[in-house]
């Protein structure tokens, strides 16, 4: 039940982000190739690696994916 709920929340968040991005026409959402995509260069390499590791572990343990997408505003 929790897995399904988390999956629905994640899917909704991605759709909302895509809708907001395309509506404003400012920044397109890139294809997701990793758990962490930082287009703002805010995170350091070690921070990204740490988040990647934690999010991959969450995915292995729970079966749900969480991604971090940082876009310039």
Domain range list for the chain:
2-70
- Mean pLDDT, contiguous 10-residue spans, the chain (73 residues): 69 71 69 93 97 95 94 84
| DSSP reduced 3-state for 51 | helix
What was the pLDDT predicted at 27? 76
For residue 56, the Cα-to-chain-centroid distance in whole angstroms is 12
What was the pLDDT predicted at 56? 96
What was the pLDDT predicted at 59? 94
pTM for the full predicted model: 0.62
The answer to whether 56 touches 35, Cβ cutoff 8 Å, is yes
């Amino acid at each position: 039940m929790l897995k399904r709920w988390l999956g629905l929340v994640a899917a909704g968040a991605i759709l909302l982000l895509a809708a907001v991005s395309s509506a404003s026409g400012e920044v397109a959402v890139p294809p997701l190739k990793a758990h962490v995509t930082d287009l703002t260069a805010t995170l350091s390499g070690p921070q990204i690696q740490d988040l990647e590791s934690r999010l991959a572990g969450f995915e292995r343990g729970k079966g749900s994916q969480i991604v971090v997408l940082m876009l310039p505003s």
